[in-house]
Amino acid sequence: MFTGIIEEVGRIVNAGTRLRVDCSLVMTDATPGCSIAVNGVCLTALDPSPQGFSADLAPETLRRTNLGDLVPGSLVNLERPLAARGRLSGHIVQGHVDDTGTVESFEALGDDNWWLRVRIPAELDRYVVHRGSICLDGISLTVAAIEDGLASVTIIPHTVAHTNLSARRPGDRINIETDILAKHLEKLTAVAMPR
């Protein structure tokens, strides 16, 4: 389990079905086979070293996420899983991306604050609510507005400075993980309600 609080921005060295990520902070306690979220996707770390790690990407991962769009030099958000003794600073994030959305705009609001608008797939719309949590490229964010398939979030200066969002442009695909509690509630409600 993750929290959506990004620990480090890494840089892609090799892309494709076997990624190589250049990073250091998330490697301090990494062991072969440990989990590391890359742009919100839970991956198995291979060949960990103080300089980074590799990870194999399955066809489903390449299809459902933006990891297949990465090229050498791309910046990625990194997070280690939550330790049992840790604080849940963001929200419950599994690292199981539902789909990708498209960055519509990333507009300055002043004082280094930003307004990010993302077009979300229609099938995810029912899980995105005003003032609810959403995970975009692994970042725990609060939905500030949802209208006509566009989810908007306010991005504070700290988040811009410590994630890959400053490199995002309109048209970029961005990973979306909706709130797991909403998905479970939907299924439980469907079972409880006879048709």
pTM above 0.95, yes or no: no
Taking only the tens of pLDDT, the chain with its 195 residues reads 999 999 999 999 999 999 999 999 999 999 999 999 999 999 999 999 999 999 999 999 999 999 999 999 999 999 999 988 877 888 889 999 999 999 999 999 999 999 999 999 999 999 999 999 999 999 999 999 999 999 999 999 999 999 999 999 999 999 999 988 888 788 888 766 666
| Residues forming CATH 2.40.30.20 domain(s) in the chain | 8-79, 99-187
- State the pLDDT at residue 145: 97
- State the pLDDT at residue 192: 64
CATH 3.50.50.60 fits 99-187, yes or no: no
- State the pLDDT at residue 195: 60
34-38 long-range contacts, CB within 8 A, separation 24+: 34/80, 34/81, 35/80, 35/81, 35/95, 36/78, 36/79, 36/80, 36/81, 37/2, 37/77, 37/78, 37/79, 37/80, 37/81, 37/93, 37/95, 37/138, 38/10, 38/67, 38/76, 38/77, 38/78, 38/138
User: Which residues are known catalytic residues?
Assistant: 2, 35, 42, 44, 58, 96, 142
CATH, domain range 8-79 = 2.40.30.20
